Structure 1
Amino acid sequence: MLEDLRKKQKVIIYFVAIIFILGMGAVGVVEIFTPKPYVGKVAGTKISFEMYQNKIQEVYARYSESNPNQPIDDGTRQNLENQAWQELVDGILWDKQIKKHKIKIKDDEILTEMQNNPPEDLMQNPALQTEGRFDPSKYIAALKNDPNLFVILEDYYKSYLPRKRLQDKIMADAGITMDSLKAEYIKENDIVRGKMIFFDYNTIKDVEVSDEDIQKYYDDNKEEEYKKGPASRMQYLVFEEKPSDEDLAEAKKSADQLAARAKAGEDFAQLAMDYSDDPGSGQNGGSLGVFGKGQMVPEFEAAAFNLKEGDISDPVKSDFGWHIIRVDRIVSTDPANPQVEARHILVKVEASETTKIEIAEKAQEVRDMLKKKKMDDVAKELEMEPQDSDWVAHDAQYIAGIGQLPQMISWMAEAKKGKVSEVIRDQQGRMIVGKITENVKSYYEDFDKVRPRIRYELEKEQKIAKAKVKADEFAAKYDPSEYFDKAEAEGWKVYDVNNFKRGNSAAGIGISEMFADAALKLNEGEISPVVHDPKGSYVIKAESRTKPDIAAFEKDTDKQKEIREKMENLAFSRWYQQMREDAKIEDRRAEFGL
């Protein structure tokens, strides 16, 4: 029993130095072992290389324990290392806030928590259950008899309990009063159901916005809407780990050998299970079941439907790799719907380790060239196409064309014009080398890039204004009792309003306080006048209403508790998000190729 518990709770620290070194990309071996000051800083606290490496080992260990047979590709490795970084950042922020709020936990409090509040995962462990239910006596016995389990849980609660106390304090300081609870209760229980007529401005076509109108809007709003920063721009080159001609030939050689063995009489299904790179069909002996034309890629389909029953094809190339196909049965020869039952062995064409090393070396060589030459000159020399990142805000979450890449964003925020990045892998496993073209405190969005957005907004304003006139004409033409019968005949859309409450989205309008005010003012059976919202014009009909019962709520302590917990959790989430935004976080991993 105790051994089973240890397996459940214990984090095994694996030796991942090789993976870590590989993750350092193009940094030389000598440079790897050269002492570095730190890889990052969080609110003044430095993250050393040792701290980062230890956390990576821990995260890799957890991943390996949860996914024992799952290989770690470059994308997974990058995600795990980013996860390790985030855990370090969060841990430091928590520790600083615990100290700031003077949260202290005594040893006897930790012991009491261990004894009285075991982790949920442990409570689900069959070894600690009696007749399918958690047995506290077995848990206490395990704590007494297994020193390893005790130490593991003690470490867990030493970290967990101060955070829990801080969270409780922040929630208690949120100032949730009875009036706050009533307001939230009203918001959740003031509900209208019915219909709405939306005078859809998108049906208006006769609007015209001139280039002069767009330029004027841009000039008038340049400071308020289009001044951004701080931000950086870079040009960059991308190196993908594509298979070489030698890799293609090697894969073809393997496919030829497998085809020969299959044609010589070896069990096709067993060959597929042993060698196919298609995990879905491979484990089923390569079986693809019955399929017709149009269901497979063209190269595969052409080969399969030219085989006789029992025939085995020569290797067939597709974007997936090389296929060896065997038709088990011709199911239908109907020209309108021919069908076969077949199986295949897939040999993928992938970049070999040699090819990957060559590409990494090339990326490093290009990095060295960029330190001395212009990006365009290097790209021309290598017959590559440089990419422009456009402006990237220093607090951005992603780079257009690249995606989320915190290391690159952090580097861009710090690097001066002309600086060259390390070779950094993105989430797609590509290697990227960038060179800063601008790093500024502020900039104006390019007029040509915002022009379509301005045109759209100005045209939308005109359309809403014209739809407003048409809505008033509609209202003048009919009695309110006729609105919903006549609306669709007049070309206006009628939508259902289902369980609408304040904060919900309305069709064609989105979230609007004006819509909420108009809808929740109505009693059952009432129809609103035409409402001219800045987002569009509409009429609302309340077919049924649910209104909050404040007197009953004042007596319902369970409901009050439920709403209080919800509001306190939201308050804590806002506090935590603001705390992270306010903290100065310096990520220097990119400087060292991490």
Structure 2
Amino acid sequence: MGTLQNIRRMSPYVFGVFAVLLVAFFTIGDPTIIEGVRGTTGDPKTQVVATINGTPIYYLEYEQRVKDEEESAKREAEKSGQPVDATAIRQRVWQSLVDEALLEQQIEKFGIMITDNQIKEQLIDNPPDFLKEMFSDSAGNFMRSTYLELITKPENYVNYMGGDPSKIPIEEKNLAVSNFRKDLFRIEKYVAQVLKQEELTAAVAASSSVISSEYARMKFVQENSTADLRFFPLTLRDLPQEAMEAKKEEIEEYYNKNKKLYKQKPQRKIKYITMPLVPSTEDSARSERRAKNVSDELMAAATDAAKDSIFDIKLSEYNGMTHNYLMVEEIDPQVYSILSILKPGQVAGPINRPDGTYFLRVDDVRSGENEVVKASHILISFDNNKDSARAEANRILREAKSNPNNFAILAMQYSKDPGSGQRGGDLGFFGKGRMVPPFEEAAFAAKVGDIVGPVESDFGFHIIKVDDKRSEELKYSELRLSPTLSTATKSQLFRDAHSIKSQVQEGLTFDTVAARLGLEVKESQYFDANIPVLGSKRLSDIAFSEEVGFVYEPVEMERYGVVLAQVADAKEIGIKALEDVREEISRKIIKKKQLDMLGEQIAPYFDRIKALGGLQAAAEQDTELAGKIQTLSAFNNSPNIPGFGQDAAFAATVFNSETNKLIGPFRGENGYYIISVENVTKPTDEEITAAMKEYKAELKVATKGAVFFQWFQKVKEDAKIVDSRSKFYPEY
């Protein structure tokens, strides 16, 4: 049933959205969407929101992609309960469209073409992962036969809509098949773009990702070598925490010698004030009056029927909502505790909760349509010995049946399910399709109070206790009255913001006007042109198009309320000012001084260790040195020194030193070290030969990806991108 449920959940846009989410810029927008509407000046559908090296991105194309992804995000939000970030979606779609346009230009430049046969072969032989997931059963097995049937005969989709196809209205079947065909068209486009992307990657990396046998061998030996050694460290943390300073003249000298290293990119800074969009005192009072009015009218009603009629009127008047047949486990427990004592048509309220005043009515109750089970379980994992696990499960089953009241204690003691085990095995209520098939079948077949098992699944053996069963579903309506921001309150906030803007334009400073009104002025960090400020790319774009001192139009922003901002400062391309890098240079100078100090301190230690005959002898004969000398076994050729953090110079010295010889002192990035390498283990020629073919292929793939990424970043940096979204949107 899992496969059928997955397929039935498909929507007209599901695959297009999957493509956007999984491969970001692989999917290219459909140019035929806007065919026939281009060229009419002034029509928003024909307007250009951006040009990428002269290639337009049209308003309609952008809006359609945003709509598709928002619909997908809303469906996910219904499952997860997480809010939808519309601004983030718009920015993500924007970046995808820019990347897609650049990629398509490069694909055309390289002359890359993909045939229909290549697309069909890919779909049949190697379908995308999201398609495999969509056509998988509840155990995660890819149902290839079902998949091939539907992509080759889309009309058979009607057999997977649920129920008897002959009883489904013809219009509904035609619409479902039509939507499925649209999905297949999107899939084909997605696959075509993936294939183009692969060929483009190969073409870009062809000259740069040639891996010689000598290089591959060297990398393999480097990555698969280990060393046993002793070492004596003196690191920065061994120095006393006394203040060490960099003198002013030292900083200035360093800056003057190295100022070319401190390149300044164009940057801007804004200052801003925020006015939260929260209900005013009058808004709160109005909500209280409404709640009292509803309560008084309900109290005055003499019968349940009269209350029912009043509730209907108020439900419509104040935009209440009706929940259509929910299982018990889907209803807020506090709400259900009230609904459970009401009969159909009865009204309860006022009920004061943190988010408002509630009035509730049970509209209908039905049973038998669906069933949910409340169960607990004890999971015994296989641990590579299924027979032993089964014996243990049977032992615990007998103990549980002998004293059912101790089931929760046994679950906490024995269950390998870390989530439910700590809750005494409690899994709560669940319906069909929520658990793996063997577990589900056993739980729904058992009676309330039964303890059954062991039930085998991919996770192990389950001992199941059925705590409750219900098939009751409630249809109910709720009216929630809470303080909401009124249009008048919002309008007043915007009037205040416009007043501040006018006063600044007339000559007062931004800070002065804000201070008079008791508003806090905040400043952003300096930001680059491609970085959204306050989460808004629009604010960033305007900052780079206007002069310092420019005051923005007030704008409503989801996380801040009404925002009024001013361009506070600008840095242009060139060399960073000394003040901007003074702290960074000071840290470098201080670190150099600290390392110089460690170099002086470690010299006497080296002489003592050498005189005693090396690190091993020193550790055996000198108590002080023994407390400092460290031993490392099977040390990998990596920058990380266990217990001491990162220091690339350490590994480089270890694997380039003779064995059984005292080396040092040598300077690393964060300290000084004395080492003695006792043994180095490297792969044998036979091991290298056996692994080389596969390793070289992996190295080539990794190198190819890195080369392509760096190449594409350069393509983006060199591209002429004109972003005109500020003409269309107050926020993005």
Between the aligned partners of 1:124 and 1:56, the Cα distance in structure 2 is 24
Q: Is 1:285 matched up with 2:422?
A: no
TM-score by length of 1: 0.70
User: In 1, are the aligned partners of 2:283 and 2:486 still within 8 Å (CA)?
Assistant: no
**Deviation, structure 1 residue 517:** 2.0
Q: Is 1:514 matched up with 2:649?
A: yes
Residue 159 of structure 1: aligned partner: 193
Q: Is 1:376 matched up with 2:527?
A: no
Superposition pairs for residues 140-219 of structure 1, below 5 Å?
140-146=148-154, 148=181, 149-173=183-207, 174-205=209-240, 208-209=244-245, 211-217=247-253, 219=255
**Deviation, structure 1 residue 53:** 1.2
Residue 234 of structure 1: aligned partner: 270
Kindly provide the CA deviation profile for residues 515-553 of structure 1, in whole angstroms up to 9, marking residues without a partner as x.
Answer: 222111346766533212353211235465431334532
Residue 116 of structure 1: aligned partner: 125
TM-score by length of 2: 0.58
Between the aligned partners of 2:264 and 2:643, the Cα distance in structure 1 is 30
Superposition pairs for residues 343-492 of structure 1, below 5 Å?
352=485, 354=487, 355=489, 358-359=492-493, 362-363=496-497, 366=500, 373=507, 374-395=509-530, 397=531, 399=533, 402=534, 404-423=535-554, 428-442=559-573, 445=576, 447=578, 450-478=581-609, 479=612, 480-481=614-615, 482-484=617-619, 489=624
User: In 1, are the aligned partners of 2:639 and 2:649 still within 8 Å (CA)?
Assistant: no
User: In 1, are the aligned partners of 2:648 and 2:668 still within 8 Å (CA)?
Assistant: no
Between the aligned partners of 1:488 and 1:250, the Cα distance in structure 2 is 79
Q: Secondary structure at the match of 1:68?
A: helix
- Greater shift after overlay, 448-457 or 528-537? 448-457
TM-aligned CA distance change 1:485 to 1:508, over 3 Å: same
User: In 1, are the aligned partners of 2:46 and 2:60 still within 8 Å (CA)?
Assistant: no
Residue 290 of structure 1: aligned partner: none
User: In 2, are the aligned partners of 1:42 and 1:586 still within 8 Å (CA)?
Assistant: yes
User: In 1, are the aligned partners of 2:274 and 2:560 still within 8 Å (CA)?
Assistant: no
Between the aligned partners of 2:483 and 2:249, the Cα distance in structure 1 is 54
**Deviation, structure 1 residue 487:** 8.7
Q: Secondary structure at the match of 1:530?
A: strand
Q: Which amino acid aligns with 1:562?
A: E
Q: Is 1:569 matched up with 2:705?
A: yes
TM-aligned CA distance change 1:132 to 1:226, over 3 Å: closer
Residue 593 of structure 1: aligned partner: 730
Kindly provide the CA deviation profile for residues 480-535 of structure 1, in whole angstroms up to 9, marking residues without a partner as x.
Answer: 23455689836985666575444433368755443222111346766533212353
Q: Once superposed, what is the RMSD of the aligned Cα atoms?
A: 4.6
Q: Secondary structure at the match of 2:334?
A: coil
- Number of residue pairs matched? 503
Residue 13 of structure 2: aligned partner: 11
Q: Is 1:245 matched up with 2:382?
A: no
User: In 2, are the aligned partners of 1:519 and 1:542 still within 8 Å (CA)?
Assistant: yes
Q: Secondary structure at the match of 2:150?
A: helix
Between the aligned partners of 1:228 and 1:237, the Cα distance in structure 2 is 28
**Deviation, structure 1 residue 228:** 1.7
Kindly provide the CA deviation profile for residues 34-62 of structure 1, in whole angstroms up to 9, marking residues without a partner as x.
Answer: 78953333333232322221121111122
1:537 to 666, 672, 682: 672
1:554 to 689, 692, 695: 689
User: In 2, are the aligned partners of 1:40 and 1:588 still within 8 Å (CA)?
Assistant: yes
1:51 to 52, 61, 64: 61
Q: Which amino acid aligns with 1:10?
A: P
User: In 2, are the aligned partners of 1:229 and 1:442 still within 8 Å (CA)?
Assistant: yes
**Deviation, structure 1 residue 131:** 9.9
Residue 93 of structure 2: aligned partner: 84
User: In 2, are the aligned partners of 1:176 and 1:564 still within 8 Å (CA)?
Assistant: yes
Q: Secondary structure at the match of 1:418?
A: coil
Kindly provide the CA deviation profile for residues 307-354 of structure 1, in whole angstroms up to 9, marking residues without a partner as x.
Answer: xxxxxxx989xxx87999xxxxxxxxxxxxxxxxxxxxxx99876354
- Structure 1 unaligned blocks of 5 or more: 15-31, 262-273, 275-279, 288-313, 325-346
Residue 300 of structure 1: aligned partner: none
TM-aligned CA distance change 1:352 to 1:489, over 3 Å: farther
Q: Which amino acid aligns with 1:51?
A: E
- Greater shift after overlay, 524-533 or 129-138? 129-138
**Deviation, structure 1 residue 450:** 4.4
Residue 142 of structure 2: aligned partner: 134
Q: Which amino acid aligns with 1:198?
A: P
Q: Secondary structure at the match of 2:564?
A: strand
TM-aligned CA distance change 1:282 to 1:152, over 3 Å: closer
User: In 2, are the aligned partners of 1:105 and 1:161 still within 8 Å (CA)?
Assistant: yes
TM-aligned CA distance change 1:458 to 1:112, over 3 Å: closer
Between the aligned partners of 2:596 and 2:198, the Cα distance in structure 1 is 53
**Deviation, structure 1 residue 78:** 1.3
Residue 437 of structure 2: aligned partner: none
TM-aligned CA distance change 1:425 to 1:581, over 3 Å: farther
**Deviation, structure 1 residue 375:** 2.3
**Deviation, structure 1 residue 102:** 1.0
Q: Which amino acid aligns with 2:142?
A: F
Identity across the alignment (%):
17
**Deviation, structure 1 residue 470:** 0.8
Between the aligned partners of 2:79 and 2:287, the Cα distance in structure 1 is 24
Q: Which amino acid aligns with 2:85?
A: T
Q: Secondary structure at the match of 1:232?
A: strand
**Deviation, structure 1 residue 103:** 0.7
TM-aligned CA distance change 1:575 to 1:554, over 3 Å: farther
Q: Secondary structure at the match of 1:124?
A: helix
TM-aligned CA distance change 1:92 to 1:472, over 3 Å: same
Q: Secondary structure at the match of 2:187?
A: helix
User: In 2, are the aligned partners of 1:189 and 1:547 still within 8 Å (CA)?
Assistant: yes
2:102 to 87, 93, 111: 93
Bigger Rg, which one: 2
TM-aligned CA distance change 1:222 to 1:363, over 3 Å: farther
Superposition pairs for residues 262-273 of structure 1, below 5 Å?
none
